[in-house]
Every structure is written in C-alpha cells, then in structure tokens.
Amino acid sequence: MEFTAQQIAGLLNGTIEGDAAVKITKLSKIEEGETGSISFLANPKYTQYIYSTKASLVIVNKDLVLSAPVSATLIRVESAEIAFSKLLEMYNQIKLNKTGVSKLAFISESAKVGDNIYAGEFAVVGDNVKIGNNVKIYPQVFIGDNAVIGDNTTLFAGVKIYSETVIGKNCIIHSGTVIGSDGFRFNPQNDNQKIPQIGNVIIEDDVEIGANCAIDRATLGSTILRRGVKFDNLIHIAHNVEIGENTYIAAGGVIAGSSKIGKNCMFSGQVGIVGHVEIADNTIITAQSGISKSVSKKGEVQMGSPAFEANKYRKAYIHFRNLDGIVKRIDKLEKDK
C-alpha cells in the first residue's frame, strides 16, 4: 500500500509542512523511523526524536513549536495521538479486507452463506451453518454443524467453533481459540463417568476474544458472553458461565462452572474464580487474585487469594510483612517474664 502525504493529510484533516508528494508505504515508531514510513509525536518525552527520525512523514500536534529544522514532512492536527489511531484503524481495515472463497475451502451444501464473505484455505464450514454478510473466515478455521456466525465477524486462522455455537455481529475471535468444547464434568460416584455436555455457547454482538482461549459449552442451556465482552489471550471459561456486558478479562483468567459475572467488570491477569459464585457489576479484581465466594457489593475492588476488599487487604499485608518482628517481640516478652 502506498499513499502520499497529501492523501493522508486529507484523511486526517491536517495541514502539511514539507513535501506533500512524499510517498509512504509503512508505519513506524518515531525513534525507529525509516525512509518511506509514517510516525507520530504526541508524548513530549519523545520530542527529541522529531529532529533525528528518518521517518518520511510525522503527524504532530498543531501547537508543536520546533527549536531546530526537521527533515521529515509534518502533518499538523489537533491531536496527533487521535489522528494516528484513526490512521491505524484505516490501515488495519485495508490490510484485513479479504474477500472470496478459496478453492481449498470446504463449505457444506446445506450451509447458508451471506454476501461478501472470505473463506481461506482449508477452512471447513459444516452442515446447516448460517453465516452472515461480510464474515471473514481465515485459513484452517473449523465451524461445526448448526453454528451461527453474525454479520461482520472475523475468525482468524485456526479458530475452532464447535456445533450449535451462536456468535453475534461484529465479533473478533483470534487464532487458536476453541469455542464450544465440552465442559469438565465427571461423576465420581459412577466410576468417573463423563457427564454429557449437550448445551452450547452464545456470544453476543461486539465481543472480542484473544488468542488461545477456551470457552466450554454448557452441560444444559448455554455458556453466555454478553454484548461488548473483551478477552485477552489464554482465558478459560467453563460450562454454564455467564459474563455480563462490557466486562474485560486480562490474560490467564480462569472462571469455573456456573459462575455469573456482572456488567462492566475488570479482571487483571491470572484471576481465578471458583464455580457457582456471583460477581456484582463494576467489580475490579487485581492480578493473581483468587475469588472463593460471591461479591455482592457493586464497584468493589478485590485483591489477594483468597480475595477480599483491597483496602483491607493492603492494611492486613502491612501486618503480615511485620509478622516476623512481632513474633520476636512476643518471644522476648515471654522470656522476660
């Protein structure tokens, strides 16, 4: 892809200083700029690089005052950070704008496929699957029988969607994620016989799931991710869990079976939650915390393992760190009796 400074300035509603015809073919950080690349300067800590960067084009704030000449062409905008983010979004849309069905893809004759889809090499779409418009199915994706994929959803390479799964519109599922695998249930009173998992997974609109996540199907009913949920990589959601709208979960999170997570929650990395608990709306859980019971108060910050209210945890931790000294004082008092 190649653009001129003039074209980019037009997209960003910016003003050019320098060569309007300079050609851009790639993006770069300002300190690592190369000829033919575009970068931006928003953080004052990086101002020094505007004078040394080899980037051909740099987006800067309108009010930036230069103290020396620069070799790069500049585009001045109201907010360099917002403008560059807009440019990244445009670049990503162009880069991922794939269409057409590969001759090496398999789509069942009974599947219903919308308009303008992309299906890459060795993608497999099973019987009675319903696929909406503008869906992108990257190479080696598997979509099981009777699944539903909504409009504008992207399934990156190697995603596996088991049968009966329902995925809404405008979702993004990253490589290696498995949706709809069996829940982990065995009967210890009957020679650990496996309990059949005959439910499904429902993922509502505008959900993004990172790479190498596992979301188990329900035993009965559905495992549900509500609208706007965002997952980082390496997250496991067990059978019959429900995640509320716009909840964010960072890498390594694990939620055991039948737990209910509220709306607008934020869980840091490696949070673990036991089964059959409820987490109130707007709950924040810090990294590596373990939740062993329900959280009923909305907006509370939980910390530790087992976790409890963060301010109380911090106070208790001060005493814990002083515990050795306290024990020595007690021992001394007892010896002095």
Please check whether residue 214 is in contact with residue 251, taking contact to mean a CB–CB distance below 8 angstroms. no
Query: Cβ of 323: how many Cβ atoms within 10 Å?
Result: 9
Which residue among the candidates 236, 239, 276, 319 is catalytic per the annotation? Answer: 239
User: Pairing relation of β-strands 193-194 and 186-187?
Assistant: antiparallel
Sequence-distant (≥ 6) Cβ neighbours of residue 124 within 8 angstroms: 105, 106, 141, 142, 143
Tokens standing for 280? 């109130």
Tell me how far apart the alpha carbons of residues 113 and 275 are, in angstroms, rounded to a whole number: 38
Helix (H, G, I), strand (E, B) or coil at 8: helix
Tell me how far apart the alpha carbons of residues 257 and 255 are, in angstroms, rounded to a whole number: 7
Is 239 among the residues known to form the active site?
yes
Tell me how far apart the alpha carbons of residues 86 and 130 are, in angstroms, rounded to a whole number: 33
Tokens standing for 296? 């009923």
Tell me how far apart the alpha carbons of residues 255 and 226 are, in angstroms, rounded to a whole number: 15
What are the CA-CA distances from residue 147 to residues 13, 60, 184, 274, 304 (Å)? 43, 47, 21, 29, 39
Active site residue ranges: 239
